[in-house]
Amino acid sequence: MSAPGGGRPLTRKRALIASAVASVAIGAVLVALDARMMDAGGPGIIDFELAGTQERADEILADWGDRGTDAAKASLWLDYAYIVAYGTFLVLAALATRDLAEQRGRDRLASFGLAVIPFAAAAAAFDAIEDVGLLLAVNQQGGDLAPRLAQVCASFKFALLAPTIAYLLAGLALRLRRSPA
């Protein structure tokens, strides 16, 4: 498959690297926005994700004030690009880990990858739905449903990311070990 404009073809490895770079770059901006929220006098975005009620969301918004709320809104919109980047990275990294495990004869690790790959995609999907709830809550719309939706989706997201990251760390350890001769 050739790349648009006649450049080098897009391989899974190149897509993995591009999504990793994009994740880090966008993540750095999100961290700076989170710092603005905390500097404004409130908690970070994760506390807002887990607020669960409009009352708690309103408390956080009051703590943030206009400056922190503006940072939260920017963060939530930018998070959609981050979701695409990290979701792509996690899926591709899990595929690469599964392939490596198969090559090294680690059948259990390879089979676990069959579950982890959809976990990574589902975590990104829950994150996108979570952001809908958060955008409603930050605009004080949706009543208690919006922050509850965000809280539930954030909980599923974190629950799915934990085994995905553990799997990728196991794959990294496998990669760093010498291949059997």
- Per-residue pLDDT tens over the stretch 31-85: 999 999 999 988 999 999 999 999 999 999 999 999 999 999 999 999 999 999 9
> Is 144 domain-assigned?
yes
> Is 1 domain-assigned?
no
pLDDT (0 to 100) of residue 10: 78
> Is 180 domain-assigned?
no
- Residue 9 pLDDT class (50, 70, 90 cuts): confident
Question: Among residues 27, 9, 155, which one has the least CA distance to residue 90?
Answer: 27
CA-to-CA separations, 39 to 27, 35, 69, 74, 139, in angstroms, rounded? 18, 6, 12, 15, 21
> Is 7 domain-assigned?
no
Residue type, 92: L
Q: In whole angstroms, what is the distance from residue 18 CA to residue 98 CA? A: 20
- What are all long-range contacts of 107-114, with beta carbons under 8 Å and residues at least 24 apart? 109/167, 109/170, 109/171, 109/174, 112/167, 113/167
Q: Is the pLDDT of residue 181 over 60?
A: no
> Is 27 domain-assigned?
yes
> Is 117 domain-assigned?
yes
Q: Using CB atoms within 10 Å of the CB of residue 79, give its burial: 0 to 12 exposed, 13 to 18 middle, 19+ buried.
A: buried
Selected residue with higher pLDDT from 115 and 179? 115
Q: Is the pLDDT of residue 175 over 90?
A: no
> Is 84 domain-assigned?
yes
> Is 119 domain-assigned?
yes
Which residues form the domain of 29? 12-175
Number of domains in the chain: 1
Contacts for 121 with CB less than 8 Å, ≥ 6 apart:
87, 90, 91
